[in-house]
Amino acid sequence: MPFQALWQPGCGIRQLQQRAALLAQLREFFAKRGVLEVETPALMATAATEPTIAPLWTEYQGATQQRLFLQSSPEFAMKRLLAAGCGAIYQICRAFRDGEAGRWHNPEFTLLEWYRPGFDHHALMREVEALLCTTLGCPAADYVTYSEAFARYAQLDPLHAPLAHLQARVAHWMGATSASSLERDACLQLIMNQAVEPHLGRTAPTFVYHYPASQAALARRLPEQPELAARFEVYVQGVELANGFYELTDAAEQRERFEQELAYRRRQGMPMPPLDEALLAALAAGLPDCAGVALGVDRLLMLQTGATNMDEVLAFSLQRLGC
């Protein structure tokens, strides 16, 4: 893009109006359900340990010089509010993730996140479905387990297929040498992205639920199948739109899962963010039984308006920040 054109916004006045209308629509949705809107800091002293998320940070130069992380999600701070007894809450906020730019990504994006005490993941999936019907006017959703989705679209059993078999499938996209170094979850995530996701949500929203427990560090395990976790994602027109959990409330188990993720980061030579001890203390004090979900507002707006690139619904995406 010529430098002389970079001052111009990616979206027009119509898209700005549609964004404002969508935000009003979301707030009305939660107001009718008695869910409280909250705000938490965008700067945090810790970051997510999840290996698939790369944090952005800044160096605070005040009296207590320290590294502060731009939130990749308001989840940890919102759970501290839940533990303090605030009840059902939601937030519409800016979130930040390094290395994410493209048709469906921008390193700074708008996230809708909400938590429902007393809900499990099945109840929250139904509420997400209601929100999508309200904002997109879409038909009733389809529901499929993670294993069923893999069997249907990738013709494999994700829970029991040998690692060598998964690596062989992944080699189709990245070559045998690179695939041979991947661990099980990395293979599954690539197969999900390449072979499964494009088929999801084509005629109606599709909820995929009961992911491998190894891919859901913040969700509780299923009592009857501990190898699975109470996690779900929803797809519309092949686009991942939201990610939700029946939240883990056990502080000791959560610490163990964070440490497992840090061990993976260490093996891969990835940055090592500090553990969020405030979150773990909140869990120890008592997080209410609840379910939570994060939904990409920019992607929702793209689906609502028919945009084909996130730049079309943002005033200034990464490519338009200037220099």
Instruction: Transcribe 18-76 into DSSP letters.
Output: HHHHHHHHHHHHHHHTTPEE----SEES-----TT---EEEEE-SSS-EEEEEPS-SHH
Single pTM value for the model? 0.94
DSSP 8-state code for residue 195: I
Q: Is the pLDDT of residue 185 over 90?
A: yes
DSSP 8-state code for residue 219: B
Q: Is the pLDDT of residue 4 over 80?
A: no
Would 105 be classed as within a structural domain?
A: yes
pLDDT tens per residue across span 118-174: 999 999 999 999 999 999 999 999 999 999 999 999 999 999 999 999 999 999 898
Q: At what angle do helices 13-32 and 297-305 cross, to 10 degrees?
A: 120
* Amino acid residing at 309: N
CA–CA gap between residue 295 and residue 246 (Å, rounded): 15
Instruction: Give the pLDDT band (50/70/90) at residue 111.
Output: very high
pLDDT tens per residue across span 49-84: 999 899 999 999 988 899 999 999 999 999 999 999
pLDDT tens per residue across span 263-314: 999 998 999 999 999 999 999 999 999 999 999 999 999 999 999 999 999 9
Would 185 be classed as within a structural domain?
A: no
For residue 258, is it left (φ>0), alpha (ψ between -120 and 50) or beta? alpha
- 278, two tokens: 């405030």
- 233 forms beta bridges with 208, 243
CA–CA gap between residue 31 and residue 88 (Å, rounded): 11
Would 252 be classed as within a structural domain?
A: yes
Would 199 be classed as within a structural domain?
A: no
Q: Looking at residue 265, which CATH number applies to its domain?
A: 3.30.930.10
Would 54 be classed as within a structural domain?
A: yes
Number of separate domains in the chain: 1
Would 274 be classed as within a structural domain?
A: yes
Instruction: Print the domain residue range for 256.
Output: 3-141+204-320
